[in-house]
């Protein structure tokens, strides 16, 4: 099997066809151009060929090269990926047109075993503690925050502070009027709790916060920032009672017990979904490792572009101003290459399995997904469909549904080994 997907072919177009196309281009130019002493369309063809030799060459090549390249690829059963790199173009009056095309093709590979793969699977196990924890989260969403009279702030209080970064202009930080910090909470940086604890509204302090390398906000990750903080006020969190009245406020539940049971079912569904996603990822990893074939660089580059775009969107979502930071684009792209290569290979394998198993997508399935997206984006389904038809979005939706159906097929036919 070739170690690369790159191919090259040399193509010759007969002189008669070249002359026929050249004559067509010349006549087209005669009808359009204006030359001194001649009415439009009346200039001698020989003069047109002489005055516009470069334009004629460009149009003839542009018309004949793609046509004959695609014909040659079809004749040789080559599944071309991307746009060919055309070189060594030979074009002279009265002679055949010759050129060389370098390109990539979809690799040929033997599809190995994919039914009955064995995969570790962690089934849903919802405990009473899990249910209680989710109920507490629901209580927290319904909580009210009450302003406290001025006093020293302590653990469990919600300190309302204004924050000013001292220096670090390169991080793009700015003044924040109202930041709420729960003193002593597990998710609160100890530097905030330690330096705000004991302050009374109106007090001011300065302190440093060191953010870990894996901090969610990438513009702060790995940096130490000095803040000037003013305590503006103190709030106390009041939670509602966990009773039947609370259950009716959360949703259409007659009792707390009914709410508790629904919470348990929801947790089972969540765990089941996550367990299946994890198992499907493992199955795809097995398939990728079991199949050794090259992947087209054009597809890898396209996948890298998608992943970099997603990465940049995540940075913007975290508040980073991309114009204020210097990004090493080569390093970013290189960091995505291994994952992109694996994803392309996985996509090819899933496509081949879908073909083998005749897994198709119905119009109804696409319509349901368009309806779901329309509700999510609060857009009329018809308008969204028109937009998706223009930019190829319907094809992407169908491809995604087909991939999900193929993954479900692999999971259903896999042997599951229980994991703790």
Torsion sign (Cα): 77, 83, 88, 89: positive
Rounded Cα distance between 120 and 416, Å, is 6
Tell which residue, 256, 253, 252, has the closest CA to residue 240.
256
d(CA 307, CA 334): 11
What distance in Å separates the CA atoms of residue 40 and residue 28, rounded to the nearest whole number? 11
Q: Give 142's Cβ-side CA count (13 Å radius).
A: 17
Burial state string for 97-106 with b = 16 or more CB within 10 A and e = fewer than 16: bebebebbbe
Asked if 218 contacts 318 with a C-beta cutoff of 8 angstroms, the reply is yes
For the chain, domains (ranges, CATH) are 6-105 (3.30.70.1050), 144-238 (3.10.50.40), 264-418 (1.10.3120.10)
Helix (H, G, I), strand (E, B) or coil at 167: coil
Task: Give the residue carrying structure tokens 């996985």.
Answer: 346
Cβ–Cβ < 8 Å for 209, 189 = yes
**319 Rama sector, left if φ>0, alpha if ψ -120 to 50, beta otherwise:** left
pTM: predicted TM-score of the whole model, two decimal places = 0.75
Phi, psi of 106 (to 5 degrees): -65, 130
For the record, the structure tokens of 4 come out as 């690369």
Distance, C-alpha 238 to centroid of its chain: 40
The confidence score (pLDDT) of residue 1 equals 44
Q: Give the DSSP H/E element, type plus range, for residue 86.
A: strand 80-90
* pLDDT confidence of residue 79: 92
Q: Both tokens of residue 147?
A: 């302003």
List the chain pLDDT tens, one digit each, 420 residues: 447 899 999 999 999 999 999 999 999 998 888 888 888 788 888 898 988 999 999 999 999 999 999 999 999 999 999 899 999 999 988 899 999 999 999 998 999 999 999 999 988 999 999 999 999 999 999 999 999 999 999 999 999 999 999 876 667 788 898 999 999 999 999 999 999 999 999 999 999 999 998 887 777 888 899 999 999 999 999 999 999 999 999 988 999 999 999 999 999 999 999 999 999 999 999 999 999 999 999 999 999 999 998 888 887 777 666 776 677 888 888 999 999 999 999 999 999 999 999 999 999 999 999 999 999 989 999 999 999 998 889 999 999 999 999 999 999 999 999 886
């Amino acid at each position: 099997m070739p170690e690369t997907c790159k191919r090259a072919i040399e193509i010759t177009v007969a002189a008669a066809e070249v002359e026929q196309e050249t004559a067509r281009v010349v006549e087209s130019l005669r009808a359009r151009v204006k030359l001194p002493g001649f009415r439009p369309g009346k200039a001698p063809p020989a003069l047109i060929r002489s005055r516009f030799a470069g334009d004629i060459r460009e149009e003839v090549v542009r018309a004949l090269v793609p046509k004959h390249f695609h014909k040659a690829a079809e004749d040789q059963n080559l599944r071309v990926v991307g746009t060919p790199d055309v070189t060594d173009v030979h074009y002279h009056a009265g002679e055949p047109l010759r050129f060389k095309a370098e390109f990539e093709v979809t690799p040929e590979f033997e599809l190995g075993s994919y039914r009955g793969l064995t995969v570790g699977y962690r089934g849903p196990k919802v405990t009473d503690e899990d249910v209680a924890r989710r109920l507490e989260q629901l209580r927290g969403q319904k909580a009210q925050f009450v302003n406290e009279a001025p006093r020293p702030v302590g653990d469990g209080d919600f300190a309302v502070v204004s924050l000013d970064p001292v220096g670090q202009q390169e991080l793009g930080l700015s003044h924040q009027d109202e930041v709420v910090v729960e003193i002593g909470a597990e998710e609160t940086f100890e530097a905030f709790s330690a330096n705000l604890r004991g302050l009374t509204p109106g007090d001011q302090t300065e302190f440093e916060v060191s953010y870990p390398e894996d901090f969610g906000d990438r513009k702060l990750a790995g940096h130490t920032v000095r803040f000037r903080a003013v305590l503006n006020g103190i709030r106390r969190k009041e939670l509602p009672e966990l009773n039947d009245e609370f259950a009716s406020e959360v949703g259409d539940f007659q009792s707390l017990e009914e709410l508790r049971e629904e919470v348990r079912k929801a947790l089972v569904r969540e765990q089941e979904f996550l367990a299946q996603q994890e198992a499907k990822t493992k199955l795809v990893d097995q398939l990728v490792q079991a199949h050794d074939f090259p992947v087209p660089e054009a597809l890898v580059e396209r996948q890298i572009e998608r992943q970099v775009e997603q990465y940049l969107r995540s940075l913007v979502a975290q508040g980073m101003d991309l114009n204020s930071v210097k990004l090493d684009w080569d390093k970013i792209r290189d960091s995505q290459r291994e994952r992109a290569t694996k994803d392309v290979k996985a996509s090819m394998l899933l496509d081949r399995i879908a073909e083998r198993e005749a897994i198709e997508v119905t119009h109804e399935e696409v319509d349901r997904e368009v309806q779901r997206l329309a509700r999510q984006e609060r857009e009329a389904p018809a308008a969204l469909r028109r937009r998706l038809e223009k930019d190829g979005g319907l094809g992407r939706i169908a491809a995604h549904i087909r991939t999900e159906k193929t993954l479900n097929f692999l999971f259903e036919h896999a042997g599951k080994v229980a994991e703790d």
